[in-house]
Amino acid sequence: MKLKIAVLTALMLSVSTAANADSMVNGSFEAGEAKAIVCGACHGPNGNSVNPAWPSIAGQHAPYILKQLQAFKSGARSNVLMTGQAMMLSDENMENLSVYYEAQDVAAKAITEPRTVAKGEALYRGGNKENGVSACIACHGPNGKGNPAARYPAISGQYAQYAAQQLRDYASGTRKTDAPTRVMRDIAARLSEDEIKAVSSYIQGLH
């Protein structure tokens, strides 16, 4: 009987280790899964939001999720709903949630404005030399997968509505979580509204 319990325990530990073996955050997948029930009300099952105003966080890098949760809790980033939720999370809760959502699969989405695909792709891959806008690909990669070590988020498949609002918030200075570099604020401030809509639509269909 003791042998059976030992074997089962070993198997459970191996599954847990496999779930977050590639993560750069030391959290528990199982604990994150249990805690994520509340988050699902806005972010959807497994982190795939069904509301374009709220971000899909499935597949997002754990270091980035952790950084944003910390920012909401500290007040460095402000949102009525998220600030309230983050205030109730411990450091361990945040780490666990980050690991759980990182392991989820991203649901593919279609481009919202097919007519602006060429413009959006040109901005994403080449920027705009005329107004000094850097190419998104430099930090977020050719497929929008980001860079977890640098805490550059994965943005492929993110809702256009949400992505556009974040660019506007960076442009206005409402959002400052690119500190200390100001890279997103500087880039977003140079984008026109048409460019924001075009590149955000392209990002939604990127995978």
Q: What pLDDT digit, counting tens, does each position of 92-129 carry?
A: 999 999 999 999 999 999 998 999 999 999 999 999 99
Write the single-letter amino acid at 205. Answer: G
Q: Which residues contact 53 (CB under 8 A, 6 or more apart)?
A: 159, 161, 162, 165
21 band by pLDDT with thresholds 50, 70 and 90: low
Determine what percent of the chain is predicted with pLDDT higher than 90: 87
Cis peptide before 45 (omega within 30 of 0): no
Range of lowest pLDDT (18-27, 62-71, 99-108): 18-27
The predicted pLDDT at position 23 comes to 85
| pLDDT of residue 62 exceeding 60 | yes
Alpha carbon distances (Å) from 129 to 5, 122, 126, 191: 64, 11, 8, 12
Contact present, 3 and 11 (Cβ < 8 Å): no
Contact present, 170 and 177 (Cβ < 8 Å): no
The predicted pLDDT at position 2 comes to 44
- Whether the full predicted model's pTM is greater than 0.85, yes or no, is yes
The predicted pLDDT at position 112 comes to 87
| pLDDT of residue 166 exceeding 60 | yes
| pLDDT of residue 1 exceeding 90 | no
Range of lowest pLDDT (5-14, 56-65, 86-95, 126-135): 5-14
Q: Which two tokens stand for residue 127?
A: 């920027």
| pLDDT of residue 137 exceeding 90 | yes
| pLDDT of residue 6 exceeding 70 | no
